[in-house]
Chains A and B, each alone.
Chain A
Amino acid sequence: MKLSLNWVKHFTEVEIGGDELIQKIGSQLGAIEDVQDWGSYYDEKIVIAKITSAKDHEDADKLGVYNIDIGGGQSRQLVAGDKSLEVGDKVGYIPPGVAVPLSVYEGEPFVIGERDLRGITSQGMLGSAKELLFSDNHKNVLKLDTDKEVGSALVDAYELDDLIIDIENKMFTHRPDLFGILGLAREVAGIQGIEFSSPDWYSEDVDFAKVDNKLPLEVTNEIPELCPRFTAVALSNITIKPSPLIMQSYLNRVGLRPINNVVDITNYYMYLTSQPAHAFDYDKVVKLSGEKPNLVVRKPRKDEKIKLLDGREIAPHSEAAMVATDLNLLSVGGSIGGADSEVDDDTKTVILEVASWNLYSIRRTSFKHGIFTDAVARFNKGQSDRQNLPVLKLMMDQFVNNCDAKQASDIFDLKKTAEAKDIVIELSSDFVNSRLGSNYSAQDIAKTLNNVELNAVIEKSVIKVTVPFWRTDLELREDIVEEVGRLNGYDLLPQSVPLRPSQPNFRSDKLQLKSEIKRILASAGANEVVTYNFVSSAMFAKLGYQADQIERAYHLRNSLSPDLEYMRMSLLPSIVEKVNPNMRTGHKQFALFEVNKSHNKDYLDDVGLPKELDSLAMVVVSNDSHQDSSFFATKRQLEYLAVKLGKHFSYHKFEQNNDRLAQTSGLMFATSRRAVVKIDDQAVGYIGEFSSRVKKQFKLPEFSAGFEIDLNHLFPEAIAYKQISKFPVSNQDLTLSVPNNLGYAQLSEKLGRLFNEAQDIDVVYEPISIFRSKLKENRHISFHLIFQSPTRTLKTTEVNDLISRVVKTLEQKDIKQV
């Protein structure tokens, strides 16, 4: 919303300088996007001049040669591409050495020079409306409509020494009144601590004259729920012409294009009051009506269409609020006019509409049909219907003054509710102070509010605020607190940290777990990545997902591109995607991991929302050759994590099941090289070397494996401390020949059980090596054993006996000492 400071000054004093005001507006009204120093576009030397003689150029068809009076007894000779100027016309003269205002505005100053045009010297330039920043008109030299004397600066004649302060629209989503200069002026007064009074015409007490010569017109409203108030009047005897230049200039400054006196009035006073209005060509409405000329506010009928002012033709949705005749649609109510009833150069009679529309209905229609006009921007904030009549009266008076119009109908005023009631909000100074941390008296508060016409009176220490009709946003006491804090300046409030009971407070267990896991894996040499939740159907295709698997992924109805149309069901594929780009930039061996969430339609929580499925996934890859396979390199990372978290994982043959990870990441592994990871009997995740398909599709090296584990099973276990024995340890190595069908874990479990059968001796063992014998029927597995007793020094014979006993038992299972 562009605020013209000079326009604001029509309604309030501004006592502080531009920079200070801009700072104050920014901190007390809303964030500023841009400030334009409008006066800086006009050099002081651009003056008002008068044509003293006019003739055609003898050697050029389209050029006129003029002498002009530029004041101070001086005259100049000008050649202009416009032969229509007459002696006595006032024009804007740009002398040599001065830049054209339009070019300064556009940031590439074009300086006028004295030049020869077909043999005649032109001592400067006469500006067009476009060049002088009044409108888009570039056909003719602009004829000025000022009474100021010849030789005075143009900038002074049209209040051009202005600041245009552009405030972000989203600051005013809740403030319908601030989409008008009048509302902005009220706030500018308020933040300066100055009392503001609305002009007399901005009052609900409006009188209209009755007219005798009435044009035939009926107005009805079939949808008061979408159009709570519809006011209109017919105006005849109109002469279409350009608006006064001062009006054109203000419109142009705030970004509205001047068109003609009729359209400009509706725009100018909309910009002043924030109340949009629309003018229909009466004679066109008559032709579009049935027997009697009429306006009907109604919904569109089936298959009805309308040509819009922006050139499009639409079939409005069935719930749209339209202005129509009994036979044809005329405009989309509160949004955009129709081309068939548009005011044009031949218009003689208009119907002026000043209405109110339901903001939700306006927004729905705006989104359905892509209509984003200045009217929509105002109506969808909820304008008060109590300003319809004063604004209708104001505009009508301008039609009489600027277009020579005559009132040609009574005032139509169709409204839903009988009488509007003022909202009264009662609060105490305590209520305000306890929310702001301030120390304002009731009198301070009342004065602040009264400055912006929020009528506040104090009755027995209660502040009673009668909300004026234009503030449709004020309902609650908290809304009044905002006004008081903002108008006085929040940054002046005393700042402190709130007192609180000194109880400890921590992040959730899950956040702690995530941060701990990340730290552990990074300390083991892996790199943490974060990847998108969004994945593509191409990714699912690469993974070989079938239709029923894809069904389980949430699909976005408004994704940015097909690359981002699904919510992922597991993390591993997103990480696998990051491998090849890193290989290409020369990284030969690395591990990437992510701790994040995924979603799956089969997993809902108690209230039916998708569960937030937390997991940890890792990929380990290498381009180098390795002693062992990638499965074990990856497993070691997982085992390192297990040790740090005090967890015990076991690894089992992969079996297909309905588990979400088995159905997604689990399918990425080679069938001979994958395992289910379990804690006790609970499957918690999957680990494996990637299948040939995945390796090919994602361009992974041969040595590549990964895992994905459900995070909920990784909460760390408490440390179980064991008393440390004072007695010496005894070390032994043991190599066993083990049949191939016996897994390492089974062997290890047996060893543990057998050794711990011994009373009073603790045995710790760890693997040293695994070798396959030449016969290939057995493996040789070596362990390092540490024996210690908590109560005595162990004898060597005792240890050897224990080993023998264990070996003997193992022999029954075909396990032999080597």
Chain B
Amino acid sequence: MKYIFEPIQNLANEIRDAMNAIDDPSVLLKSPELKQLYQMIPKQSDNQKKEFGSQVNALKAEIVSLVENHQNQQEEAELSSIDITAPFDENCTAQDNQLLTADRGSLHPLSQELDRVLKIFEAMGFGAIESRQLDDDYHMFGSLNFPDDHPARDDFDTFITDEGLIAPAHTSTMQNRVLLANRDKLKNGGNVQVVVPGRCFRNEDVDARHEHTLHQVEGVMVGEGITVGHLIGTLKTFLEAFYGQKLEVRTQPAYFPFVEPGFEFSMSCPFCSKVGCKVCSNEGWIEILGCGMIHPNVLKEAKIDPDKYTGFAWGFGLDRLVMMQYNVDDIRWFHSGKIEFLEQFK
């Protein structure tokens, strides 16, 4: 950096030279010359005062950063170099060096529950692939029967990059890919059966109940003769396996452009047997997921004949499942990285 005022530039030159010559350059911060420069500020003419002041400050900042870099370099130079290929340090024996205390380890509750969810779906014949965390408009909306400028897009507050890429608001962003990749199975009388876990993003402020980063599990099943009855039956079977008890389920019509018909899906509360408790807000019922029969336009977009094949899809939030399961009262714990939270899930 060049300084336009001569006394400032002169001091800058001096200090840059002195930096490597002295042992503790931090004394430079207290140099009387710097103090003098500060004292000169009020003596400048009115039209120069501001500029002069800011240049003095800039010099101070430069010195601070030079000193810091110098210290960092020195500290690192003091670190002896090590044999990076060795199993342990010098003057050590194999016995001295254990792993961490193994019983401290923990799996994040989202990972644990996802594992349980996937195991049940695997047993029910579903494969699984992971969802994307950055995708394009076509997969997030276009392939899912959302025309451009359609008001149905208003229900999704998505994050968008400068390039127009989307941090997906739902795992359905994978639906077209999953259908395309698995459609060959249909020819042999098989089904497309895949669940898609992944991260989703909603452009909303974080509080105890809301997060901009969420985890969803999407599911897709397509085949010949797949019906709404199968949709309800499949989800009921999963929920009963997950909660280890018989449940009642019910649907509410809902609108999502990528299904027809679409539903909100509720189950009787597994924590109170429908009597009413905190988890179900004393309703006896919990709205647990959104689902529906895959819209023929979505099937067509994946080159699947909607006259011959039908199918269903669903999506639910993993975070909420975990919160209900363990009575976690604040969603912010999930991304807190706090050990007092994590170590409870060993």
B125 interface neighbour in A172, A491, A503, A599, Cβ under 8 Å: A503
Query: 1/0 contact trace for B73-100 toward A, CB 8 Å?
Result: 0011101111111111111111011011
Q: A434-B310, A522-B105, A671-B76 are in contact. Are A530 and B334 (CB under 8 A)?
A: yes
Whether A582 contacts B339 by the Cβ 8 Å rule is yes
Complex Cα distance A28/B124, Å? 29
- Residues from chain B with a CB closer than 8 A to the CB of A575 are 337
Interface membership of A479, Cβ < 8 A = yes
Select from chain B the residue with minimum beta-carbon distance to A578: B337
Let me know if B190 and A436 touch, CB within 8 A.
Answer: no
Tell me whether B250 is interfacial, beta carbon within 8 Å: yes
From 755 to 774 in chain A, residues with beta carbon under 8 angstroms from any chain B beta carbon are 766-772
Would you call A255 an interface residue if the criterion is a C-beta within 8 Å of the partner chain's C-beta atoms? no
**Structural contact, B253 and A30, CB atoms closer than 8 A:** yes
Q: Quick one: given A508-B127, A530-B110, are A691 and B72 in contact (CB under 8 Å)?
A: yes
B251–A490 touching, CB < 8 Å: yes
The one of B87, B103, B201, B203 in contact with A525, judged by C-beta atoms closer than 8 angstroms, is B103
Interface SS of A by simple majority: mixed
- Interface stretch of the complex, out of A330-338, A407-415, A511-519: A511-519
Within 8 A of A (CB), among B149-190: 149-152, 154-155, 159-163, 165, 167, 189-190
Please give, as numbers and ranges, the residues of chain A lying within 8 Å of B340 by CB-CB distance: 585
Q: How far is the CA of A635 from the CA of B92 in the complex (A)?
A: 15
Decide: B134 and A599 in contact? CB cutoff 8 A.
Answer: yes
- Are the C-beta atoms of B86 and A482 separated by less than 8 Å? no
Tell me the residues in window 470-486 of chain A with beta carbons closer than 8 Å to chain B beta carbons: 476, 478-479, 481-482, 485-486
- Whether B71 pairs with A692 at a CB distance below 8 angstroms is yes
A74 close to B (CB within 8 Å): no
The bracket for how many chain A residues form the interface is 35 or more
- In the complex, 11 of the A-B residue pairs with CB atoms within 8 angstroms, ordered by the A residue number, are A30-B252, A173-B255, A434-B310, A498-B225, A511-B197, A529-B337, A531-B335, A556-B161, A581-B336, A632-B82, A770-B89
Does the CB pair B104–A360 fall under 8 Å?
no
**Residue picked from A171, A507, A534, most chain B C-beta under 10 Å:** A507
Whether a CB of chain A sits under 8 angstroms from the CB of B191 is yes
Known interface pairs A29-B253, A511-B129, A578-B337. Does A495 touch B122 (Cβ–Cβ under 8 Å)?
Answer: no
Q: Which residues from B are CB-within-8-Å of A380?
A: 151
Inter-subunit contact B261/A486 (CB<8 Å):
yes
User: B232–A769 contact, CB under 8 A?
Assistant: no
- Residues of chain B whose beta carbon lies under 8 Å from any beta carbon of chain A: 68, 71-72, 75-77, 79-94, 96-97, 99-108, 110-111, 115, 118, 122, 124-130, 132-136, 147-152, 154-155, 159-163, 165, 167, 189-191, 193, 197, 199, 201, 203-205, 212-213, 221, 223, 225-230, 232-234, 236-237, 250-255, 257, 260-261, 263-264, 293, 295-296, 306, 310, 334-340, 342-343, 346
**Are A612 and B108 within 8 A (Cβ)?**
no
B193 touches A627 (CB 8 A): no
Contact yes or no, B91 A650, CB < 8 A: no
B311: min CB distance to chain A, Å: 10
- Give every chain B residue within 8 A of A494 (Cβ-Cβ): 229
A533 within 8 A of B: yes
A41 at the B interface (CB under 8 A): no
B233 x A497 contact (CB < 8 A): yes
**Option from B75, B91, B136 in Cβ contact (under 8 Å) with A609:** B136
How long is the Cα–Cα vector from A693 to B154 in the complex, in angstroms?
Answer: 44
What residues of chain B lie closer than 8 Å to A397, measured between beta carbons?
Answer: none
Q: Bound complex: CA of A41 vs CA of B63, how far in Å?
A: 73
**C-alpha spacing A226/B296, complex, angstroms:** 29
Least CB distance, B218 to chain A, in whole angstroms: 13
Chain B proximity mask over A194-217: 1 for CB below 8 Å, otherwise 0? 000000000000000000000000
CB <8 Å contact, A770 and B90: yes
Residues of A with C-beta under 8 A to B79:
670, 672-673, 689
Having A478-B295, A490-B232, one finds 19 other A-B pairs with CB under 8 Å, namely A31-B254, A360-B149, A435-B293, A485-B261, A503-B125, A522-B346, A523-B105, A556-B159, A556-B162, A560-B203, A578-B337, A585-B338, A587-B339, A597-B133, A609-B134, A628-B88, A632-B89, A673-B81, A768-B93
Point out the residues of chain A lying under 8 angstroms from B106, CB to CB.
522, 527-528
Q: Would you call A421 an interface residue if the criterion is a C-beta within 8 Å of the partner chain's C-beta atoms?
A: no
**Given A500-B125, A744-B86, A770-B92: A524 and B100 within 8 A (CB)?**
yes
Q: In whole angstroms, what is the CA distance A591 to B104 when docked? A: 9
Assuming A170-B255, A493-B232, is B162 touching A525 (CB within 8 A)? no
Given A437-B229, A500-B191, A627-B97, A590:B132 Cβ within 8 A: no
Residue among B81, B102, B107, B226 making CB contact with A519, cutoff 8 Å: B107
Check: A589 CB closer than 8 A to any chain B CB. yes
Given contacts A31-B252, A359-B151, A768-B93, A498 and B338 within 8 Å (CB-CB): no
In angstroms, Cα B336 to Cα A635, docked, is: 26
- Asked if residues B104 and A490 are in contact (CB atoms below 8 Å), the reply is no
**CB within 8 A of B134: which of A170, A507, A612?**
A612
Given contacts A171-B254, A482-B260, A498-B221, contact A772 B91 (CB under 8 A): yes
Bound Cα distance from A529 to B345, whole angstroms? 11
- Whether B100 pairs with A620 at a CB distance below 8 angstroms is yes
A554 interface contact, C-beta 8 A: yes
Does A779 make an interface contact (CB < 8 A)?
A: yes
Chain B residues closer than 8 Å to A175, beta-carbon distance: 255
On whether the beta carbons of B72 and A650 are closer than 8 Å, the reply is: no
A497 touches B234 (CB 8 A): yes
Chain A 374-394 per-residue mask, 1 if CB under 8 angstroms from chain B, else 0: 000000110000000000000
Task: Tell me whether A592 is interfacial, beta carbon within 8 Å.
Answer: yes
* Closest chain A residue to B310, Cβ basis: A435
**B205: A residues at CB distance < 8 A:** 560
Contact call A554/B165, Cβ cutoff below 8 A:
yes
- Kindly state the separation between the CA atoms of A533 and B193 in the bound complex, as whole angstroms: 29
Which B-chain residue is minimally distant from A436 (CB atoms)? B228
A723 CB–B CB distance under 8 Å? no
Task: Contacts A30-B254, A693-B72 given; indicate if A495 touches B96 (C-beta within 8 A).
Answer: no
The CA of A557 and the CA of B166, in the complex, are separated in Å by: 10
What A residues does B115 contact at CB under 8 A?
Answer: 515
> By the criterion CB–CB under 8 Å, are A560 and B338 in contact?
no
Q: Could you say which of A491, A672, A771 contacts B90, with CB atoms under 8 Å apart? A: A771
B76 touches A670 (CB 8 A): yes
Interface centre among B89, B190, B310 (most CB of A within 10 A): B89
A427 to B151 Cα, complex, angstroms: 29
Q: How distant is the Cα of A493 from the Cα of B293 in the complex, in angstroms?
A: 14
A527:B343 contact, CB within 8 angstroms: yes
Is A26 among interface residues, defined by CB-CB distance under 8 A? yes
Which residue on chain B has the smallest CB distance to residue A653?
B84
The closest CB in chain B to the CB of A526 belongs to B105
> Are A631 and B233 interface neighbours, CB within 8 A?
no
Whose C-beta in chain A lies nearest to the C-beta of B75?
A692
Q: Is A364 an interface residue (CB 8 A)?
A: yes
